[in-house]
Structure 1
Amino acid sequence: MSGMTPREIVQELDKHIIGQAAAKRAVAIALRNRWRRAQVEDESLRSEITPKNILMIGPTGVGKTEIARRLARLARAPFIKVEATKFTEVGYVGREVDSIIRDLVEMAVKMSRDEAIERVRTRAEDVAEDRILDALLPPARSSPGLDNGTVAVAPDNDGAARQRFRKLLREGKLDDKEIEIEVTSPTVGVEIMGPPGMEEMTGQLQSMFQNLGGDKKQHRTLTVADAMKMLVEEEASNLINEEDLKHEAVRRVEQDGIVFLDELDKIVGRAD
Protein backbone atom coordinates (compact mmCIF):
# COMPACT_ATOMS: atom_id res chain seq x y z
CA MET A 1 0.00 0.00 0.00
CA SER A 2 1.36 3.37 -1.03
CA GLY A 3 2.08 5.98 1.65
CA MET A 4 1.65 8.89 -0.76
CA THR A 5 -0.37 11.91 0.32
CA PRO A 6 -3.59 12.81 -1.55
CA ARG A 7 -1.80 15.71 -3.26
CA GLU A 8 0.96 13.40 -4.52
CA ILE A 9 -1.61 10.85 -5.71
CA VAL A 10 -3.49 13.51 -7.67
CA GLN A 11 -0.23 14.69 -9.24
CA GLU A 12 0.51 11.14 -10.41
CA LEU A 13 -2.99 10.76 -11.83
CA ASP A 14 -2.63 14.09 -13.65
CA LYS A 15 0.24 12.58 -15.66
CA HIS A 16 -2.12 10.11 -17.32
CA ILE A 17 -5.66 11.52 -17.09
CA ILE A 18 -6.91 14.91 -18.25
CA GLY A 19 -9.37 16.78 -16.06
CA GLN A 20 -11.71 15.02 -13.60
CA ALA A 21 -10.24 16.92 -10.64
CA ALA A 22 -13.10 16.04 -8.28
CA ALA A 23 -12.89 12.32 -9.05
CA LYS A 24 -9.11 12.29 -8.64
CA ARG A 25 -9.37 14.06 -5.30
CA ALA A 26 -12.05 11.63 -4.07
CA VAL A 27 -10.09 8.49 -4.94
CA ALA A 28 -6.86 10.00 -3.58
CA ILE A 29 -8.49 10.65 -0.21
CA ALA A 30 -10.00 7.15 -0.24
CA LEU A 31 -6.60 5.59 -0.92
CA ARG A 32 -4.99 7.66 1.83
CA ASN A 33 -7.70 6.54 4.25
CA ARG A 34 -6.90 2.94 3.40
CA TRP A 35 -3.26 3.61 4.22
CA ARG A 36 -4.24 5.25 7.52
CA ARG A 37 -6.42 2.23 8.32
CA ALA A 38 -3.44 -0.07 7.75
CA GLN A 39 -1.42 1.91 10.32
CA VAL A 40 -3.87 1.06 13.13
CA GLU A 41 -2.07 -1.49 15.29
CA ASP A 42 -5.15 -2.78 17.12
CA GLU A 43 -6.53 -5.47 14.80
CA SER A 44 -9.99 -5.45 16.37
CA LEU A 45 -10.20 -1.67 15.92
CA ARG A 46 -8.84 -1.87 12.38
CA SER A 47 -11.54 -4.37 11.41
CA GLU A 48 -14.18 -1.82 12.49
CA ILE A 49 -12.87 0.75 10.01
CA THR A 50 -14.52 -0.22 6.73
CA PRO A 51 -13.44 1.37 3.43
CA LYS A 52 -16.28 3.11 1.60
CA ASN A 53 -17.34 2.43 -1.97
CA ILE A 54 -17.07 5.19 -4.57
CA LEU A 55 -19.71 5.79 -7.25
CA MET A 56 -18.33 7.46 -10.37
CA ILE A 57 -20.93 8.72 -12.83
CA GLY A 58 -20.13 9.89 -16.34
CA PRO A 59 -20.35 9.04 -20.05
CA THR A 60 -18.06 6.58 -21.76
CA GLY A 61 -14.49 7.74 -22.27
CA VAL A 62 -14.17 10.39 -19.54
CA GLY A 63 -11.61 8.35 -17.56
CA LYS A 64 -13.54 6.44 -14.89
CA THR A 65 -11.85 3.11 -15.52
CA GLU A 66 -8.43 4.63 -16.09
CA ILE A 67 -8.57 6.49 -12.77
CA ALA A 68 -9.29 3.24 -10.93
CA ARG A 69 -6.64 1.31 -12.87
CA ARG A 70 -3.93 3.91 -12.29
CA LEU A 71 -4.88 4.12 -8.62
CA ALA A 72 -4.44 0.35 -8.28
CA ARG A 73 -0.99 0.58 -9.85
CA LEU A 74 0.04 3.33 -7.45
CA ALA A 75 -1.14 1.26 -4.50
CA ARG A 76 0.23 -2.01 -5.93
CA ALA A 77 -3.21 -3.42 -5.21
CA PRO A 78 -5.06 -6.26 -6.96
CA PHE A 79 -7.51 -4.78 -9.45
CA ILE A 80 -10.30 -6.28 -11.51
CA LYS A 81 -12.89 -4.71 -13.78
CA VAL A 82 -16.19 -6.54 -14.28
CA GLU A 83 -19.41 -5.73 -16.06
CA ALA A 84 -22.35 -5.85 -13.70
CA THR A 85 -24.65 -7.17 -16.43
CA LYS A 86 -22.69 -10.45 -16.52
CA PHE A 87 -23.25 -11.23 -12.85
CA THR A 88 -26.29 -12.09 -10.76
CA GLU A 89 -26.73 -12.71 -7.07
CA VAL A 90 -28.08 -16.25 -7.39
CA GLY A 91 -26.13 -17.36 -10.43
CA TYR A 92 -29.00 -18.68 -12.53
CA VAL A 93 -28.23 -16.13 -15.22
CA GLY A 94 -24.63 -15.31 -16.04
CA ARG A 95 -21.85 -15.91 -13.51
CA GLU A 96 -21.96 -15.89 -9.73
CA VAL A 97 -20.92 -12.80 -7.81
CA ASP A 98 -18.49 -14.92 -5.77
CA SER A 99 -16.41 -15.46 -8.88
CA ILE A 100 -15.45 -11.76 -8.84
CA ILE A 101 -13.45 -12.20 -5.65
CA ARG A 102 -12.14 -15.56 -6.84
CA ASP A 103 -10.77 -13.92 -9.98
CA LEU A 104 -9.34 -11.10 -7.88
CA VAL A 105 -7.51 -13.62 -5.67
CA GLU A 106 -6.05 -15.33 -8.75
CA MET A 107 -4.78 -11.97 -9.94
CA ALA A 108 -3.31 -11.27 -6.50
CA VAL A 109 -1.51 -14.63 -6.55
CA LYS A 110 0.05 -13.73 -9.89
CA MET A 111 1.10 -10.30 -8.58
CA SER A 112 2.63 -11.83 -5.44
CA ARG A 113 4.43 -14.49 -7.50
CA ASP A 114 5.88 -11.90 -9.90
CA GLU A 115 7.13 -9.80 -6.98
CA ALA A 116 8.59 -12.87 -5.24
CA ILE A 117 10.38 -13.91 -8.43
CA GLU A 118 11.96 -10.45 -8.71
CA ARG A 119 13.19 -10.74 -5.10
CA VAL A 120 14.96 -14.05 -5.76
CA ARG A 121 15.95 -13.40 -9.37
CA THR A 122 19.60 -12.69 -8.55
CA ARG A 123 19.97 -15.97 -6.67
CA ALA A 124 18.11 -17.83 -9.41
CA GLU A 125 20.37 -16.34 -12.09
CA ASP A 126 23.48 -17.44 -10.17
CA VAL A 127 22.23 -21.03 -9.92
CA ALA A 128 21.11 -21.06 -13.56
CA GLU A 129 24.50 -19.73 -14.62
CA ASP A 130 26.27 -22.56 -12.79
CA ARG A 131 23.99 -25.16 -14.41
CA ILE A 132 24.75 -23.79 -17.86
CA LEU A 133 28.48 -23.81 -17.13
CA ASP A 134 28.16 -27.44 -16.03
CA ALA A 135 26.58 -28.22 -19.40
CA LEU A 136 29.21 -26.28 -21.34
CA LEU A 137 32.24 -27.74 -19.57
CA PRO A 138 32.87 -31.51 -19.64
CA PRO A 139 32.87 -33.39 -16.33
CA ALA A 140 35.94 -34.93 -14.76
CA ARG A 141 37.25 -38.02 -16.56
CA SER A 142 39.40 -40.91 -15.43
CA SER A 143 42.73 -41.75 -17.08
CA PRO A 144 45.36 -44.47 -16.44
CA GLY A 145 47.88 -43.53 -13.78
CA LEU A 146 50.93 -44.99 -12.11
CA ASP A 147 50.90 -48.58 -10.89
CA ASN A 148 47.99 -49.41 -13.22
CA GLY A 149 45.70 -47.18 -11.17
CA THR A 150 43.42 -44.44 -12.36
CA VAL A 151 43.64 -40.74 -11.76
CA ALA A 152 40.67 -38.37 -12.00
CA VAL A 153 41.55 -35.63 -14.44
CA ALA A 154 39.33 -32.53 -14.48
CA PRO A 155 39.67 -30.16 -17.42
CA ASP A 156 40.15 -27.16 -15.16
CA ASN A 157 36.37 -27.12 -14.59
CA ASP A 158 36.55 -24.98 -11.46
CA GLY A 159 39.53 -22.90 -12.49
CA ALA A 160 40.52 -20.59 -15.28
CA ALA A 161 38.44 -22.32 -17.97
CA ARG A 162 35.24 -21.98 -15.96
CA GLN A 163 35.94 -18.32 -15.30
CA ARG A 164 36.59 -17.70 -19.00
CA PHE A 165 33.30 -19.35 -19.93
CA ARG A 166 31.51 -17.42 -17.19
CA LYS A 167 32.84 -14.15 -18.61
CA LEU A 168 31.78 -15.11 -22.15
CA LEU A 169 28.37 -16.16 -20.86
CA ARG A 170 27.77 -12.85 -19.10
CA GLU A 171 28.88 -10.94 -22.19
CA GLY A 172 26.32 -12.82 -24.30
CA LYS A 173 28.92 -14.35 -26.61
CA LEU A 174 27.61 -17.88 -26.00
CA ASP A 175 23.92 -17.11 -26.51
CA ASP A 176 23.69 -18.94 -29.86
CA LYS A 177 25.55 -22.05 -28.70
CA GLU A 178 23.34 -25.13 -28.22
CA ILE A 179 23.53 -27.18 -25.03
CA GLU A 180 21.57 -30.06 -23.51
CA ILE A 181 20.02 -29.42 -20.10
CA GLU A 182 17.68 -31.25 -17.76
CA VAL A 183 14.55 -29.28 -16.92
CA THR A 184 11.29 -29.94 -15.14
CA SER A 185 8.49 -30.52 -17.63
CA PRO A 186 5.58 -28.11 -17.06
CA THR A 187 2.37 -29.48 -15.61
CA VAL A 188 -0.33 -29.87 -18.23
CA GLY A 189 -3.30 -27.65 -17.41
CA VAL A 190 -6.65 -29.36 -17.03
CA GLU A 191 -9.72 -27.23 -17.62
CA ILE A 192 -12.93 -28.52 -16.03
CA MET A 193 -16.24 -26.82 -16.66
CA GLY A 194 -18.70 -27.01 -13.80
CA PRO A 195 -22.20 -25.72 -13.10
CA PRO A 196 -22.77 -22.48 -11.16
CA GLY A 197 -22.22 -22.91 -7.43
CA MET A 198 -19.74 -25.78 -7.85
CA GLU A 199 -16.58 -23.74 -8.45
CA GLU A 200 -14.86 -24.95 -5.27
CA MET A 201 -15.33 -28.63 -6.13
CA THR A 202 -14.31 -27.96 -9.72
CA GLY A 203 -11.11 -26.29 -8.51
CA GLN A 204 -10.28 -29.25 -6.27
CA LEU A 205 -10.77 -31.72 -9.13
CA GLN A 206 -8.62 -29.57 -11.39
CA SER A 207 -5.79 -29.48 -8.82
CA MET A 208 -6.05 -33.24 -8.30
CA PHE A 209 -5.69 -34.03 -12.01
CA GLN A 210 -2.77 -31.61 -12.34
CA ASN A 211 -0.93 -33.27 -9.45
CA LEU A 212 -1.33 -36.78 -10.87
CA GLY A 213 1.51 -36.28 -13.32
CA GLY A 214 3.95 -34.91 -10.75
CA ASP A 215 7.19 -33.17 -11.65
CA LYS A 216 8.98 -34.96 -14.47
CA LYS A 217 12.50 -34.29 -15.70
CA GLN A 218 13.32 -34.18 -19.37
CA HIS A 219 16.42 -33.43 -21.43
CA ARG A 220 16.14 -30.62 -23.94
CA THR A 221 18.56 -29.12 -26.44
CA LEU A 222 18.36 -25.34 -26.39
CA THR A 223 20.48 -22.33 -27.12
CA VAL A 224 22.26 -20.84 -24.14
CA ALA A 225 19.99 -17.77 -24.22
CA ASP A 226 16.79 -19.86 -24.14
CA ALA A 227 18.24 -22.22 -21.55
CA MET A 228 19.11 -19.31 -19.27
CA LYS A 229 15.53 -17.98 -19.36
CA MET A 230 14.06 -21.41 -18.66
CA LEU A 231 16.49 -22.25 -15.86
CA VAL A 232 16.04 -18.87 -14.17
CA GLU A 233 12.27 -19.40 -14.10
CA GLU A 234 12.68 -22.93 -12.77
CA GLU A 235 15.17 -21.99 -10.06
CA ALA A 236 13.11 -18.96 -9.03
CA SER A 237 10.05 -21.19 -8.66
CA ASN A 238 12.06 -23.54 -6.45
CA LEU A 239 12.98 -20.64 -4.17
CA ILE A 240 9.37 -19.51 -3.71
CA ASN A 241 6.98 -20.90 -1.10
CA GLU A 242 3.61 -21.31 -2.81
CA GLU A 243 1.68 -21.46 0.46
CA ASP A 244 3.14 -18.14 1.57
CA LEU A 245 2.18 -16.69 -1.80
CA LYS A 246 -1.43 -17.78 -1.37
CA HIS A 247 -1.67 -16.34 2.15
CA GLU A 248 -0.15 -13.06 0.97
CA ALA A 249 -2.55 -12.93 -1.99
CA VAL A 250 -5.58 -13.41 0.26
CA ARG A 251 -4.31 -10.69 2.61
CA ARG A 252 -3.83 -8.27 -0.28
CA VAL A 253 -7.32 -8.91 -1.58
CA GLU A 254 -8.87 -8.46 1.86
CA GLN A 255 -6.97 -5.27 2.68
CA ASP A 256 -6.11 -3.63 -0.65
CA GLY A 257 -8.27 -5.21 -3.37
CA ILE A 258 -10.12 -2.92 -5.80
CA VAL A 259 -13.18 -4.10 -7.75
CA PHE A 260 -14.44 -1.83 -10.53
CA LEU A 261 -18.09 -2.54 -11.38
CA ASP A 262 -19.05 -1.21 -14.79
CA GLU A 263 -22.48 -0.82 -16.41
CA LEU A 264 -24.33 -0.51 -13.12
CA ASP A 265 -26.81 1.79 -14.83
CA LYS A 266 -27.94 -1.09 -17.06
CA ILE A 267 -29.19 -3.21 -14.16
CA VAL A 268 -30.80 -0.39 -12.17
CA GLY A 269 -34.39 0.53 -12.93
CA ARG A 270 -35.06 4.10 -13.97
CA ALA A 271 -37.23 6.07 -11.54
CA ASP A 272 -40.27 7.72 -13.13
Structure 2
Amino acid sequence: MTGTGIIPKIPLGDGVEALVDGIDTYFGWLLDAISGFIDIFIKSLQAVLLFIPPLLMILIIAALGWYVSRKNNISGILIAAGLFLILNLNLWNESMQTLALVITASIIALIIGIPVGIWASSSDIANSITRPFLDLMQTMPSFVYLIPAVIFFGLGNVPGVIATIIFAMPPAIRLTNLGIRQVPLELNEVADSFGATSRQKLFKVQLPVALPTIMTGVNQCILLALSMTVIASMIGAAGLGLNVLYGIQRVDIGGGFEAGLAIVIIAIILDRITQNLIKS
Protein backbone atom coordinates (compact mmCIF):
# COMPACT_ATOMS: atom_id res chain seq x y z
CA MET A 1 0.00 0.00 0.00
CA THR A 2 1.27 3.42 -0.87
CA GLY A 3 0.61 6.57 1.08
CA THR A 4 -2.19 6.49 3.62
CA GLY A 5 -4.57 4.51 1.43
CA ILE A 6 -6.53 7.70 0.72
CA ILE A 7 -3.80 10.09 -0.36
CA PRO A 8 -1.18 8.68 -2.76
CA LYS A 9 2.38 8.58 -1.51
CA ILE A 10 4.37 11.67 -2.42
CA PRO A 11 7.20 10.53 -4.75
CA LEU A 12 9.84 12.30 -2.69
CA GLY A 13 12.41 9.53 -3.03
CA ASP A 14 11.93 9.38 -6.80
CA GLY A 15 12.41 13.12 -7.00
CA VAL A 16 15.66 12.93 -5.04
CA GLU A 17 16.93 10.13 -7.29
CA ALA A 18 16.09 12.21 -10.38
CA LEU A 19 17.89 15.20 -8.89
CA VAL A 20 20.98 13.11 -8.12
CA ASP A 21 20.98 11.65 -11.63
CA GLY A 22 20.68 15.13 -13.12
CA ILE A 23 23.57 16.49 -11.03
CA ASP A 24 25.71 13.51 -11.95
CA THR A 25 24.88 13.90 -15.65
CA TYR A 26 25.28 17.65 -16.08
CA PHE A 27 27.83 18.47 -13.38
CA GLY A 28 29.93 15.32 -13.38
CA TRP A 29 32.90 17.27 -14.72
CA LEU A 30 32.71 19.68 -11.77
CA LEU A 31 32.45 16.85 -9.26
CA ASP A 32 35.49 15.20 -10.85
CA ALA A 33 37.45 18.45 -10.62
CA ILE A 34 36.51 18.92 -6.95
CA SER A 35 37.37 15.29 -6.20
CA GLY A 36 40.74 15.59 -7.91
CA PHE A 37 41.66 18.80 -6.10
CA ILE A 38 40.71 17.47 -2.66
CA ASP A 39 42.48 14.16 -3.30
CA ILE A 40 45.72 15.93 -4.29
CA PHE A 41 45.49 18.24 -1.27
CA ILE A 42 44.94 15.35 1.17
CA LYS A 43 47.76 13.25 -0.27
CA SER A 44 50.15 16.19 -0.27
CA LEU A 45 49.33 17.08 3.32
CA GLN A 46 49.64 13.46 4.44
CA ALA A 47 52.99 13.20 2.67
CA VAL A 48 54.28 16.30 4.47
CA LEU A 49 53.05 15.15 7.89
CA LEU A 50 54.52 11.67 7.43
CA PHE A 51 57.79 13.03 6.00
CA ILE A 52 58.54 14.94 9.19
CA PRO A 53 60.16 12.58 11.77
CA PRO A 54 57.73 11.78 14.60
CA LEU A 55 59.99 13.16 17.34
CA LEU A 56 60.41 16.42 15.47
CA MET A 57 56.65 16.65 14.87
CA ILE A 58 56.01 16.05 18.57
CA LEU A 59 58.46 18.83 19.41
CA ILE A 60 56.80 21.22 16.94
CA ILE A 61 53.24 20.57 18.18
CA ALA A 62 54.30 20.69 21.85
CA ALA A 63 56.15 23.98 21.24
CA LEU A 64 53.08 25.41 19.50
CA GLY A 65 50.87 24.36 22.42
CA TRP A 66 53.37 25.82 24.89
CA TYR A 67 53.53 29.13 23.00
CA VAL A 68 49.80 29.70 22.52
CA SER A 69 49.15 28.77 26.17
CA ARG A 70 51.29 31.80 27.14
CA LYS A 71 54.36 29.64 27.68
CA ASN A 72 52.69 27.30 30.14
CA ASN A 73 55.17 24.46 30.62
CA ILE A 74 52.48 22.04 31.82
CA SER A 75 50.58 22.37 28.53
CA GLY A 76 53.66 21.63 26.46
CA ILE A 77 54.57 18.62 28.60
CA LEU A 78 51.06 17.15 28.47
CA ILE A 79 50.85 17.59 24.69
CA ALA A 80 54.23 15.91 24.24
CA ALA A 81 53.21 13.07 26.58
CA GLY A 82 50.00 12.46 24.66
CA LEU A 83 51.79 12.37 21.31
CA PHE A 84 54.50 10.08 22.71
CA LEU A 85 51.76 7.69 23.80
CA ILE A 86 50.33 7.66 20.28
CA LEU A 87 53.80 6.95 18.91
CA ASN A 88 54.31 4.17 21.45
CA LEU A 89 51.00 2.55 20.41
CA ASN A 90 52.26 2.37 16.80
CA LEU A 91 49.41 4.62 15.65
CA TRP A 92 51.52 7.52 14.42
CA ASN A 93 50.89 7.04 10.68
CA GLU A 94 47.16 6.63 11.20
CA SER A 95 47.12 9.72 13.43
CA MET A 96 48.82 11.82 10.76
CA GLN A 97 46.34 10.54 8.17
CA THR A 98 43.48 11.53 10.45
CA LEU A 99 45.06 14.93 11.11
CA ALA A 100 45.40 15.52 7.36
CA LEU A 101 41.72 14.72 6.82
CA VAL A 102 40.66 16.97 9.70
CA ILE A 103 42.84 19.87 8.52
CA THR A 104 41.60 19.54 4.94
CA ALA A 105 37.93 19.38 5.92
CA SER A 106 38.29 22.23 8.45
CA ILE A 107 40.06 24.55 6.01
CA ILE A 108 37.45 24.04 3.30
CA ALA A 109 34.57 24.32 5.81
CA LEU A 110 35.97 27.60 7.16
CA ILE A 111 36.69 29.00 3.69
CA ILE A 112 33.02 28.46 2.86
CA GLY A 113 31.48 28.95 6.30
CA ILE A 114 33.00 32.26 7.43
CA PRO A 115 32.02 34.20 4.25
CA VAL A 116 28.52 32.70 4.43
CA GLY A 117 28.32 33.80 8.07
CA ILE A 118 29.41 37.31 7.09
CA TRP A 119 26.75 37.34 4.38
CA ALA A 120 24.10 36.12 6.83
CA SER A 121 25.04 38.89 9.26
CA SER A 122 24.70 41.55 6.58
CA SER A 123 20.91 41.29 6.27
CA ASP A 124 17.93 39.65 7.90
CA ILE A 125 16.89 38.19 4.55
CA ALA A 126 20.22 36.38 4.17
CA ASN A 127 19.94 35.18 7.74
CA SER A 128 16.44 33.83 7.06
CA ILE A 129 17.70 32.02 3.97
CA THR A 130 20.62 30.31 5.69
CA ARG A 131 18.86 29.39 8.94
CA PRO A 132 16.68 26.53 7.60
CA PHE A 133 19.68 24.96 5.85
CA LEU A 134 21.77 25.18 9.02
CA ASP A 135 18.94 23.67 11.07
CA LEU A 136 18.74 20.81 8.59
CA MET A 137 22.50 20.27 8.56
CA GLN A 138 22.70 20.20 12.35
CA THR A 139 19.70 17.94 12.96
CA MET A 140 20.37 15.46 10.15
CA PRO A 141 21.89 12.19 11.47
CA SER A 142 25.57 12.15 10.60
CA PHE A 143 25.29 8.82 8.79
CA VAL A 144 22.95 10.41 6.25
CA TYR A 145 25.79 12.61 4.98
CA LEU A 146 27.55 9.50 3.74
CA ILE A 147 24.85 8.73 1.16
CA PRO A 148 25.31 11.71 -1.22
CA ALA A 149 29.07 11.65 -0.62
CA VAL A 150 29.29 8.04 -1.84
CA ILE A 151 26.90 8.66 -4.73
CA PHE A 152 28.85 11.61 -6.11
CA PHE A 153 32.43 10.76 -5.08
CA GLY A 154 32.59 6.98 -4.59
CA LEU A 155 34.62 5.50 -1.75
CA GLY A 156 37.83 6.76 -0.14
CA ASN A 157 39.18 9.86 1.52
CA VAL A 158 37.42 12.38 -0.72
CA PRO A 159 33.81 11.43 0.13
CA GLY A 160 34.84 11.21 3.78
CA VAL A 161 36.13 14.78 3.64
CA ILE A 162 33.03 16.01 1.78
CA ALA A 163 30.71 14.50 4.41
CA THR A 164 32.91 15.96 7.15
CA ILE A 165 32.80 19.43 5.59
CA ILE A 166 29.00 19.45 5.56
CA PHE A 167 28.85 18.11 9.11
CA ALA A 168 31.39 20.58 10.54
CA MET A 169 30.41 23.77 8.71
CA PRO A 170 27.29 25.01 10.60
CA PRO A 171 29.07 26.24 13.78
CA ALA A 172 31.43 28.39 11.70
CA ILE A 173 28.48 30.00 9.90
CA ARG A 174 26.33 30.49 12.98
CA LEU A 175 29.04 31.90 15.26
CA THR A 176 30.44 34.21 12.57
CA ASN A 177 26.93 35.55 12.05
CA LEU A 178 26.35 35.85 15.79
CA GLY A 179 29.70 37.51 16.48
CA ILE A 180 29.21 40.24 13.89
CA ARG A 181 25.61 40.86 14.94
CA GLN A 182 26.76 41.31 18.55
CA VAL A 183 29.19 44.12 17.66
CA PRO A 184 27.99 47.14 19.70
CA LEU A 185 25.88 49.56 17.70
CA GLU A 186 28.01 52.44 18.92
CA LEU A 187 31.10 51.06 17.17
CA ASN A 188 29.24 50.75 13.89
CA GLU A 189 27.94 54.30 14.24
CA VAL A 190 31.47 55.60 14.94
CA ALA A 191 32.75 53.84 11.80
CA ASP A 192 29.91 55.33 9.76
CA SER A 193 30.54 58.80 11.16
CA PHE A 194 34.17 58.63 10.01
CA GLY A 195 33.01 57.73 6.51
CA ALA A 196 34.15 54.10 6.53
CA THR A 197 32.97 51.98 3.63
CA SER A 198 31.18 48.69 4.25
CA ARG A 199 34.39 46.80 3.54
CA GLN A 200 36.44 49.00 5.89
CA LYS A 201 33.85 48.68 8.64
CA LEU A 202 33.81 44.90 8.24
CA PHE A 203 37.58 44.37 8.33
CA LYS A 204 38.58 47.12 10.76
CA VAL A 205 35.68 47.11 13.22
CA GLN A 206 33.30 44.17 13.01
CA LEU A 207 35.66 41.25 12.41
CA PRO A 208 38.24 42.29 15.06
CA VAL A 209 35.50 42.73 17.68
CA ALA A 210 33.76 39.49 16.67
CA LEU A 211 37.01 37.51 16.47
CA PRO A 212 36.63 35.65 19.82
CA THR A 213 33.19 34.40 18.81
CA ILE A 214 34.41 33.50 15.32
CA MET A 215 37.34 31.59 16.80
CA THR A 216 34.91 29.64 18.97
CA GLY A 217 33.21 28.62 15.73
CA VAL A 218 36.59 27.59 14.34
CA ASN A 219 37.20 25.49 17.44
CA GLN A 220 33.83 23.76 17.14
CA CYS A 221 34.33 23.20 13.42
CA ILE A 222 37.66 21.42 14.00
CA LEU A 223 36.30 19.23 16.80
CA LEU A 224 33.23 18.24 14.78
CA ALA A 225 35.49 17.37 11.86
CA LEU A 226 37.52 15.11 14.12
CA SER A 227 34.40 13.49 15.58
CA MET A 228 33.32 12.58 12.05
CA THR A 229 36.47 10.55 11.32
CA VAL A 230 35.08 7.29 12.69
CA ILE A 231 31.86 7.63 10.71
CA ALA A 232 33.76 8.67 7.55
CA SER A 233 35.83 5.49 7.84
CA MET A 234 32.69 3.55 6.89
CA ILE A 235 33.10 4.86 3.34
CA GLY A 236 36.83 4.28 3.12
CA ALA A 237 38.39 7.33 4.82
CA ALA A 238 41.81 6.34 6.16
CA GLY A 239 43.21 7.00 9.61
CA LEU A 240 42.31 6.18 13.18
CA GLY A 241 38.61 5.88 12.37
CA LEU A 242 39.39 2.84 10.24
CA ASN A 243 41.16 1.23 13.20
CA VAL A 244 38.11 1.85 15.39
CA LEU A 245 35.86 0.39 12.70
CA TYR A 246 38.04 -2.72 12.42
CA GLY A 247 37.97 -3.03 16.20
CA ILE A 248 34.17 -3.03 16.14
CA GLN A 249 33.92 -5.48 13.25
CA ARG A 250 36.44 -7.92 14.71
CA VAL A 251 35.44 -7.38 18.35
CA ASP A 252 39.03 -6.29 18.97
CA ILE A 253 38.43 -4.40 22.19
CA GLY A 254 42.09 -3.53 22.77
CA GLY A 255 42.80 -2.27 19.26
CA GLY A 256 39.58 -0.26 19.12
CA PHE A 257 40.27 1.29 22.52
CA GLU A 258 43.81 2.31 21.56
CA ALA A 259 42.61 3.97 18.34
CA GLY A 260 39.78 5.67 20.20
CA LEU A 261 42.21 6.92 22.84
CA ALA A 262 44.45 8.36 20.12
CA ILE A 263 41.46 10.23 18.67
CA VAL A 264 40.66 11.62 22.13
CA ILE A 265 44.27 12.77 22.59
CA ILE A 266 44.29 14.55 19.23
CA ALA A 267 40.91 16.13 20.04
CA ILE A 268 42.16 17.45 23.39
CA ILE A 269 45.34 18.84 21.81
CA LEU A 270 43.43 20.60 19.01
CA ASP A 271 40.88 21.92 21.50
CA ARG A 272 43.52 23.31 23.86
CA ILE A 273 45.49 24.96 21.06
CA THR A 274 42.44 26.61 19.50
CA GLN A 275 40.99 27.61 22.88
CA ASN A 276 44.25 29.33 23.81
CA LEU A 277 44.25 31.08 20.43
CA ILE A 278 40.80 32.44 21.31
CA LYS A 279 42.06 33.76 24.67
CA SER A 280 45.12 35.34 23.11
Scaled by the length of structure 2, the TM-score of the pair is 0.28
The answer to which structure has the higher strand fraction is 1
Scaled by the length of structure 1, the TM-score of the pair is 0.28
The answer to which structure has the higher helix fraction is 2
Q: Give the structure with higher Rg (CA).
A: 1
Give the number of the structure with larger relative contact order, counting CA–CA contacts within 8 Å between residues 6 or more apart: 1
